[in-house]
Amino acid sequence: MPKTLKLFNTLLVVAGAIALVTTGFVFRLEDFPSVAINLGDPAVTGGELVLGISFWTLATFLASALPVQMPGGILVTVSIAPIIAATSLGGPFAGALVALIGTTEIRELRGRVPWYGSLVNHAGLVVSAVACGLVIELIREIAPAGLLSDLFATVVGAVAYFGLNLLIVSVVVGLKVGMPIKQLLVEDSRGFAASLLALAPLGWLMARMYATPGAGWWTTLLFALPLYTTRVAYHRFVEMRDMFTQTIGALAEAVDKRDPFTSKHSQNVRMISVDIGREMRVSAGELEALEWGGLLHDVGKIGVPDNILLKQERLTREERMVMNAHPVLGAEIIAPVTKLAAELPIIRHHHEWYNGSGYPDRLMGDEIPKLARILHCADAFEAMTAARPYRMTPLTNEQALAELRKFAGIQFDPEVVDAFVRTKWAEDVRDPGRHADPRPIPLISQHAARTSQPAFDGPAPGSPAADLA
């Protein structure tokens, strides 16, 4: 375990313990009688308070029992609703108790989670619940009393709970796997923040029903069904996403399998592209586009006949034109899939050259979509370091990197090559560095001149980098 992670975990556990003890003294349960389950006598007893806390703890335990695993590996449950309800009714200390005990998972009871892992998880939830309770109490203190302001206080408290919990989880995961925390925050919150926070008003409603005289604790059981259907919706979402990713992976594999020399090519290009994208600090959405674009970039090769795709000798001009149509064909194949709109420019332009002599549209410099420039570099490195029918001995990583450096500014975006050098793929590889004579970004006049040239029908000879199709 990294030292910084150890330190963060220790501080988190200490903070959780201090928060629990302090709120226990400051926000005593007796001051929040509405959290108790009243058994008859209007005066609230200690036993009725314990019964009330136990009820919410059990509700949280049941809501946590069916977690859904998100694509990033984080487990999501609908337990935010009963925790928010308990905090709204019983204050920060009650919220902390319910979060501490109620979120115990079955795998923890079975001893499948190391004790320090459980301690850190629960400390994070306690700190978040205390923050939620403090926010609710603070707003209640300053805002005029009323149902609307109480709802507002609870929803803002839920935002604090969700935000702080997400931050803590992202820091722990970020320190553990060495990923930027900001990126994890964006990746994990995207798509789920809104739906999880939608559970906050539901939690508030549960609390109000529970505290309404004549209604009672049992009315909160009516919320079990909407909570369960929300959980089912999460599960379906993850299932659909997995199915989509697997289908795309299968399609990419089908393309790679046609040519025994390109097995796993798409998967490798995907991994290299994503690593370059991370180094260039592209957005989470762009990283996802690189993932799927990397897998699908050569899908248009489905339309290239075997006698051309598998030909061992050099292609004729006509054959090269058929081969070079694959980016356009690939974009046409993918175009009807609206979910893949962001990947279309990557697929269409992954063979454009930085100096405008690529294909199919002879774009140059920044005209080429950034993600297509990234993929082009990843594609070239992968192709150069793998055996091909026309070059049975692949280049070494040193030779391939030298080619990328040599053709930076001609074929590749120099900034993309710089970013590639910082990835693990170029680790311990001797880097000749940027070209001594930096090539300028192509100018508009060059752009005008190229339109009068005949259409590009083959890569410039002399470069192994130029050989990839």
Q: Which is nearer to Fe ion, 155 or 329 (CB)?
A: 329
Q: Which is nearer to Fe ion, 124 or 358 (CB)?
A: 358
Segment interacting with Fe ion (CB under 5 A) among 278-286, 298-306, 416-424, 431-439: 298-306
Q: Which is nearer to Fe ion, 86 or 372 (CB)?
A: 372
Q: Which is nearer to Fe ion, 348 or 405 (CB)?
A: 348
Question: What whole-number distance in Å separates Cα of residue 52 and Cα of residue 46?
Answer: 10
Q: Provide the 8-state DSSP code for 261.
A: G
Segment interacting with Fe ion (CB under 5 A) among 142-150, 196-204, 273-281, 296-304: 296-304
The interface with Fe ion within residues 430-459 (CB under 5 A) comprises: none
Whether the CB-CB separation of 161 and 255 falls below 8 Å is answered with no
Tokens for 281, please give them: 């600090």
Whether the CB-CB separation of 389 and 312 falls below 8 Å is answered with yes
Nearest to residue 56, comparing CAs of 27, 82, 37, 90?
82
3-state secondary structure of 68: strand
Q: Which is nearer to Fe ion, 306 or 427 (CB)?
A: 306
Quote the least distance from Cβ 351 to Fe ion, whole Å. Answer: 6
Should residue 343 be labelled a site residue for Fe ion when binding is judged by CB under 5 A? no
Q: Which is nearer to Fe ion, 92 or 327 (CB)?
A: 327
Segment interacting with Fe ion (CB under 5 A) among 33-41, 126-134, 151-159, 297-305: 297-305
Should residue 298 be labelled a site residue for Fe ion when binding is judged by CB under 5 A? yes
Segment interacting with Fe ion (CB under 5 A) among 198-206, 209-217, 295-303, 391-399: 295-303
Hunting for tokens 């929300």 — which residue is that?
230
Nearest to residue 167, comparing CAs of 12, 4, 3, 281?
12
Whether the CB-CB separation of 376 and 403 falls below 8 Å is answered with no
Alpha-carbon distances of 277 from 46, 84, 269, 377, 379, rounded to whole Å: 58, 38, 12, 11, 13
Neighbouring C-alpha atoms within 13 Å toward the C-beta of 465: 24
Quote the least distance from Cβ 297 to Fe ion, whole Å. Answer: 6
Q: Which is nearer to Fe ion, 391 or 434 (CB)?
A: 391
3-state secondary structure of 408: strand
Q: Which is nearer to Fe ion, 121 or 357 (CB)?
A: 357
Quote the least distance from Cβ 350 to Fe ion, whole Å. Answer: 6
Alpha-carbon distances of 325 from 320, 348, 362, 466, rounded to whole Å: 9, 10, 13, 16
Quote the least distance from Cβ 424 to Fe ion, whole Å. Answer: 23
Whether the CB-CB separation of 206 and 82 falls below 8 Å is answered with yes
Tokens for 236, please give them: 């379906």
Three-class SS string for 216-246? CHHHHHHHHHHHHHHHHHHHHHHHHHHHHHH
Quote the least distance from Cβ 456 to Fe ion, whole Å. Answer: 14
Q: Which is nearer to Fe ion, 275 or 298 (CB)?
A: 298
Neighbouring C-alpha atoms within 13 Å toward the C-beta of 115: 0
**Residues in contact with Fe ion, total (CB under 5 A)?**
1
Quote the least distance from Cβ 392 to Fe ion, whole Å. Answer: 20
Quote the least distance from Cβ 349 to Fe ion, whole Å. Answer: 11
Quote the least distance from Cβ 375 to Fe ion, whole Å. Answer: 9
Burial 282-316 (b: 16+ CB within 10 A, else e): bebebbbbbbbbbbbbbbbbeebeeebbeeeeebe
Segment interacting with Fe ion (CB under 5 A) among 179-187, 292-300, 310-318, 336-344: 292-300
The interface with Fe ion within residues 235-264 (CB under 5 A) comprises: none
Segment interacting with Fe ion (CB under 5 A) among 49-57, 66-74, 211-219, 293-301: 293-301
The interface with Fe ion within residues 148-177 (CB under 5 A) comprises: none
Quote the least distance from Cβ 136 to Fe ion, whole Å. Answer: 56
Should residue 137 be labelled a site residue for Fe ion when binding is judged by CB under 5 A? no
Segment interacting with Fe ion (CB under 5 A) among 53-61, 114-122, 276-284, 294-302: 294-302
Residue nearest to Fe ion (CB): 298
Quote the least distance from Cβ 353 to Fe ion, whole Å. Answer: 13
Name the site residues for Fe ion (rule: CB under 5 A).
298
